[in-house]
Amino acid sequence: MQKTLFNDRSTVKARALLIGQSINIKSLEKTDYLAVTPLVVSAGENGCAVLFRYGAIVVFNLTSSEEKAFLTSLNPLITTPVDPPEVEELELYRDTTHPGKIKSDTIFLSEFRVESLQIIADILAKSVILAYYEARTARSFDRIEPFAASLQHASWNRQQVQELIQQLGNTFSIHHKMVGRVEIIDKPEILWEYPELEPLYRRLATEYEVRERHLALESKLELVFRTAETALGLLQNNTNLRVEWYIVILIVVEIILSLYDLFFNS
């Protein structure tokens, strides 16, 4: 059964926030909720919130104080908080003449259906995730550039090697989050039940360039990973070469000592 919210309002503000690496929403699923997959719960006096396991929430029609109180109530459920949170905003405007139209940071809807809010929340949540990891990947890329510029150098210190390994770890972590948990380019399950909302989903996905940003992020992650992998490979080869030269030098020294003993002690 379809349910509408905010029937007394013509505009509603939506705010997406990435607040942690994950949110344990199991306890909230046992309370009164407005919808599931994704989970929608009441928040504030006349608002609601959509929560995602991968650490993002989208609140609708909350004042600043209500949002702050709601975030505080979620603290025990958050793993590895993101502070300050990544934020995205969108204004929802009731308009029966142009439903689904998107202009700047405003979307026009004929009514504020819970299912429509879930679709909007899905895209906004993915957008803040992308923004967060775009920034992290850019920082990793900046850190990896010095290694790319010095791939032919044979001598790196231990700190540089540790930094390189750390960047590899960061890259794996981001890729796992994007592919294994968030499923950025996958359609939300709610579209199977409400296929009439797919045009709204497509317009939002296009507006926020979800697929394009995901592919660009994947390419950057691949470049960071390959650069780090190549650098570590060259470092390993250089180390092996040094070991081989040490062996050659030891053999030469041994021969010299043997010749010295042969000629001067005979």
Please, which residues bridge with residue 94 across strands? Answer: 109
Residue 123 pLDDT > 70: yes
What was the pLDDT predicted at 217? 83
Q: What pLDDT is stored for residue 236 in this prediction?
A: 63
Query: What are the pLDDT digits (tens) for 79-121?
Result: 989 999 999 999 999 998 888 899 889 999 999 999 999 999 9
Do 119 and 198 contact (CB within 8 A), yes or no?
no
2-6, 55-59, 156-160, 169-173: segment of lowest average pLDDT:
156-160
pLDDT at 159: 63
pLDDT in tens, 219-238: 877 777 777 666 666 666 65
The Cα-based distances of 121 to 66, 114, 144 in angstroms read 18, 10, 34
Write down the pTM of the prediction: 0.79
Read off the amino acid at residue 136.
R
Question: How far is C-alpha 234 from the geometric centre of its chain's CA atoms?
Answer: 30
Cα separation, 137 vs 170, in Å, equals 8
Rounded to whole angstroms, how far apart are CA atoms 28 and 4?
A: 21
For the chain, the average pLDDT equals 81
If you write DSSP's letter for every residue of the chain in order, what string do you get?
---B--TT-SEEEEEEEEEEEEE--HHHHTS--SBTTTEEEEETTTEEEEE-TTSEEEEES--HHHHHHHHHHHGGGEEEEEEEEEEEEEEEEE-SSSTT-EETTEEEESS-BHHHHHHHHHHHHHHHHHHHHHHHHHHHHHHHHHHHHTTT-S---HHHHHHHHHHHHHHHHHHHIIIIII-TTSPPTHHHH-GGGHHHHHHHHHHTTHHHHHHHHHHHHHHHHHHHHHHHHHHHHHHHHHHHHHHHHHHHHHHHHHHHHHHH--
At residue 147, the pLDDT reads 62
With 50 as the cut, is the pLDDT of residue 259 above it? no
Give every strand in the sheet of 39-43, ordered side by side. 39-43, 47-51, 56-60, 11-23, 78-94, 106-109, 102-103
Question: How many CA atoms are closer than 13 Å to the CA of 73, on its beta-carbon side?
Answer: 15
Q: Which of 38, 63, 42 is nearest to 115 (CA)?
A: 38
Domains of the chain are: 11-112 (3.30.310), 128-264 (no CATH)
**Three-state secondary structure of 114-161:** HHHHHHHHHHHHHHHHHHHHHHHHHHHHHHHHHHHHCCCCCCCCHHHH
Span of 13-17, 74-78, 254-258 with lowest mean pLDDT: 254-258
